[in-house]
Amino acid sequence: MKHSFIKVAAVSPEIRVADPAFNATKIVEAIEAQAKKGTELLVFPELSISGYTCGDLFLQSTLLEGCLTALREIAAATENKKMLVFVGLPLAHGGKLYNCAAAVSDGEVKGFVPKTHLPNYNEFYEARYFSPAPAGTSWHRLGTEEDDGAYLSAELVFRDETHPEIAVGCEICEDLWAPVSPSSALCAKGAAVIVNLSASNETVGKREYRHKMIAAQSGKNICAYIYSAAGEGESTSDAVFAGSSMIYENGVCLAERLPFSGSDCEAEVDVGFLLAERRRNSSFRADTETDDWPDASFMTDGDLTLRHVDALPFVPKEEGERKERAALILDMQAHALARRLSQVHAKTAVLGISGGLDSTLALLVTVRAFDLLGKPREDILAISMPGFGTTLKTKNNATALIQATGAKFMQIPISQTVLRHFKDIGHDPEVKDTAYENAQARYRTMVLMDVANETGGLVVGTGDLSELALGWCTYNGDHMSMYAVNCSVPKTLVKYLVLAEAERLGGRAEIVLKSVLGTEISPELLPPDEKGEIAQKTEDLIGPYELTDFYLYHMLRRGDGPAKTLALAERAFEGVYDRATLKKWLVSFYRRFFAQQFKRNCVPDGVKVGSVSLSPRADLRMPSDASAALWLSEAENL
């Protein structure tokens, strides 16, 4: 098994109405082609063995017997293949006729799932021929021997015999549209993947409606949903069928077969993520206490070939979506800060402005908050505190930024005061150790707090989510504030927020903000190099922020372990970082993440803007002395 991924496909082959032998040939050809691709779960359309538009021919025993013969041929084609296949056929059982999906694997039929909800409107009159799924479970004999057959029930869940957590449920077309869909009950029984064999015809607007229905169903049931629709070959007497198929995972579309495109719909579904999400979701309850689920052998150890892995999971890929997301986040931050300023009757907002990305974003948010409250921007006290490591570029950026926003500029140099502090505590300023660096950060925080007290103000924190994850902040220094507006914004997203605001503001502000965006990330606590440029580069010390954010997202949002995370990182950053580099920073990430929890357990209030947050009150409940041994052992031995 590929780190709990399963390769799935929805295929709509050419068919002939009422010609099971021809249809079986085409289905077997598709099975063979998909087997070469490593597909493990393959779904064909509704009544794909007979054709959906047979009409009264469904009542002919000749057609029914021909479909059973074709089913045996299709089942035989799965022998010695790691694949679970769903095909549709009419099935006579117990004196009734059912519209069924047959699950076949290992060369045999594993079960029959009858359709529960039958349409009887417009051009569809299924109730004329078929009966709705009966209650309970019964045995359908296929041959002369008692054990030659399979269970028939709308409640069947099929699982892989070596990975029983990979469980598949099935419903048929109209079942999805019913007020209470069978798939909801199947998910409650433990199915993480739902297949739908459909013969939904094509009309204007129907494709968009299907997307909404499937997105909602897969999202609320935290499942993967593979929808395979009938296409070429169905009768066009009263309707046309376009083979419009799609694959969803927890509300997100992974793949689609466009109407009339003739292509296959293929994707790799992350069942591990779905199960992790279900564990996290307290409203999801699964009753998996059953021993009679049909077993099949369909999971393999092949490599991922289809799955796109985002290198920047916190950043939308499309420019339009990025701008829309940025506008929403900035509004969320500004309204949250405005509420806090109003609640505490703050006369001023106090910020330390370094000329770097985080403090720039915090200032932009504060300006928005003051505009919302109708407060004068000059009551924003933006303080530049140059120290031992401050370069001319960042100092100029800070000054220009403050002036461009209309905030009140204050400059309080800290070098001489910190040197006196070194003398008081007996520290040699030539020793550039932790005390040397943190004394500067703590003194800056003291200045901000004291100015806030002096002016009846509130200190706005600037630290971001990525720094908090790694503990890249000075305890009781920049770690502390009175309200933290960036605390759930990852570093890879910060620059897009600043860029969006630069483009919105234009003019002088845009020029300054783009200068900030082009500056090396650094805490500037160590002296500049001989050229007067930044010597202390953050990403050289703690790793590239794009890796930090990738690892953080996959650990907390997807529930992935070290091995899976590294495998996905190799795919996402192929050609950018080699495996050794990815592993080095992955080990570093786990080590820092666990060791620095004590800082996160006492952070100030701050607004949550995304699905990942480290607040000890609302999101991450983790002891400060938790051991990282399990994670480090797995990561180091990869």
Alpha-carbon distance 262 to 244, whole Å? Answer: 9
Contact predicate 59/87, CB 8 Å: no
Burial 315-326 (b: 16+ CB within 10 A, else e): bbeeeeebbebb
Q: Which range among 119-123, 190-194, 234-238 shows the weakest confidence by mean pLDDT?
A: 119-123
Tokens of 453: 């007290």
Beta strands at 5-10 and 265-270: parallel, antiparallel or unpaired: antiparallel
Identified catalytic residue from 173, 187, 265, 473? 173
Q: What whole-number distance in Å separates Cα of residue 333 and Cα of residue 460? A: 11
Residue 595 has pLDDT above 90, yes or no: yes
Are the C-beta atoms of 487 and 618 separated by less than 8 Å?
Answer: no
- Percent of the chain topping pLDDT 70: 98
> Dihedral angle at the C-alpha atoms of 433, 437, 442, 448, nearest 10 degrees?
170
Residue 1 has pLDDT above 70, yes or no: no
Higher pLDDT, 343 or 531: 343
Least confident of 116-130, 315-329, 389-403, 435-449: 116-130
**Section 231-243 average pLDDT:** 88
- H or E segment to which residue 141 belongs: strand 138-141
Rounded Cα distance, 401 and 502, in Å: 11
Q: What is the mean pLDDT of the chain?
A: 93
Task: Render pLDDT for 315-370 as a digit per residue (tens, 0 to 9).
Answer: 999 999 999 999 999 999 999 999 999 999 999 999 999 989 999 999 999 999 99
**2, 7, 110, 115: the active-site residue:** 115
Q: Which amino acid is at 237?
A: S
pLDDT tier at 122 (50, 70, 90 boundaries)?
A: low
- Rounded (10°) CA dihedral 143, 144, 145, 151: 40
Instruction: Kindly indicate the confidence band of residue 305, based on its pLDDT and cuts at 50, 70 and 90.
Output: confident
pLDDT at site 251: 97
Q: Any idea which residue has 């950053």 for tokens?
A: 573
Cβ pair 582, 547 in contact under 8 A: yes
C-alpha closest to that of 108 among 72, 142, 137: 72
The reported pLDDT for the residue numbered 527 is 82
> What pLDDT is recorded for position 288?
59
Mean pLDDT within 208-226:
96
Model pLDDT for residues 240-296, shown as the tens digit of each residue: 998 899 999 999 999 999 988 888 999 999 999 999 999 988 787 766 565 568 888
- Check pLDDT > 90 for residue 232: no
Residue 46 falls in the annotated catalytic set: yes
pLDDT of residue 203: 87
Q: Is 524 a catalytic residue?
A: no
Please give the domain boundaries of the chain with CATH numbers for all domains: 5-296 (3.60.110.10), 319-636 (3.40.50.620)
Give 401's pLDDT tier (boundaries 50, 70, 90). Answer: very high
Give the pTM: 0.92
**pLDDT recorded at residue 123:** 62
* pLDDT of amino acid 283: 80
Residues 6+ apart with CB under 8 A from 320: none
**Average pLDDT of the segment spanning 56-61:** 95
**18 in the Ramachandran plot: left (φ > 0), alpha (ψ -120 to 50) or beta?**
left
Catalytic residue among 2, 7, 40, 46: 46
Q: What is the 3-state secondary structure (H, E, C) of 505-541?
A: HCHHHHHHHHHHHCCCCCCCCCCCCCCCCCCCCHHHH
Higher pLDDT, 192 or 3: 192
Q: Tens digits of per-residue pLDDT, 465-519?
A: 999 999 999 999 999 999 999 999 999 999 999 999 999 999 999 999 999 988 8
Active site residue 223: no
Lowest mean pLDDT among 21-25, 110-114, 401-405, 528-532: 528-532
Determine the Cα–Cα distance for residues 602 and 604; give it in Å rounded to an integer: 7
